[in-house]
Amino acid sequence: MYVFTVLKQEDEDVQIICPFNLGTIAQTRQGIEKFFETVEGASWNDGSIKISKQKMRSFFDESLKGITKSLREILNKDLSVEFILLVGGYAESKILRQHIISQFSDQCKVLCPYRAQEAIVKGAVMFGRNPEVVASRKSAFTYGTEINPWFDESRHKAEKKFRCTSGERCLDIFKQLVETDEDVGWDESREYIFRPVEAYQRSMMFKFFQTERKNPLYVDDWGVEEIGLVTVEMPDTTRGMDRQVKLEIKFGFTEMTATATDMETRSTASVKLNFMTKS
């Protein structure tokens, strides 16, 4: 596998030298050359597997199609994109670089730094030492929390209706906090105000969700996943429903922190949530 990662950088016939014991094991069944008789584009060559240039290129077909599709989706958006920057180990491949240049050089300048694989590590070190080098990042998901607003029969499902002392409310409504592809500063904070649904309510629980959808209506819609929760105590019920809980979302490197504060007693509770890109 290591040899292949080196050889995949070339766009020519390659030879992978095999350990002696591979040939020995093969001989227990048949001559190792016979294993290659029905294989197109590969052959046994005196201790090495020889792979033709065309065969090597075929290994890249699926990934190149996926990368091309993703780039076209980005370029078709109303964005001002001037450069495509290739970094990481895959960017060392001549096949990849030539393909991207042939497909997109008429729209953007295609750049690849010297030792493209090291760019990832250097970038991580630079970011670790000084996070301000990244002004903002695009959210990989839409993030939200669950709320219980007044029930609206023109918008809400009948089965979501429930009655409490304050009136008829709706279960499982998704309140958006961050939208997918939205720019978020690395040290940005956002605040939201919530009120209790019961006059005697002594705590408030926030459940947090993520989804690739833009803005689902319910937290139990398809594609919505729960990622964490936090409960803040509200021991002073003197003012009934005329109370406030502040929810602060603080964005960081690979996570965000949600802190709920009861404004009457200053009771607080926090939870850390994943803010990574898609795997």
pTM of the complete model: 0.64
Reading the block at residue 75, the tokens are 């370029």
Residue 279 pLDDT: 46
Winning range, highest mean pLDDT, from 35-39, 127-131, 161-165: 161-165
pLDDT surpasses 50 at 197: yes
Q: Where are the beta strands (DSSP E) in 159-202?
A: 161-164, 167-170, 173-178, 183-185, 189-194
CA pair distance 43, 51, nearest whole angstrom: 7
How do residues 230-241 score in pLDDT, each as one tens digit? Answer: 999 999 999 999
Q: Using one digit for the tens of pLDDT, what is the confidence trace for 245-256?
A: 999 999 876 789
Average pLDDT, the chain: 89
Name the residue type at position 261.
T
C-alpha–C-alpha distance, residues 216 and 227, integer Å? 16
230 Cβ partners below 8 Å, 6+ apart? 205, 206, 208, 258, 259, 260, 269, 270, 271
Residues above pLDDT 70, as percent of the chain: 98
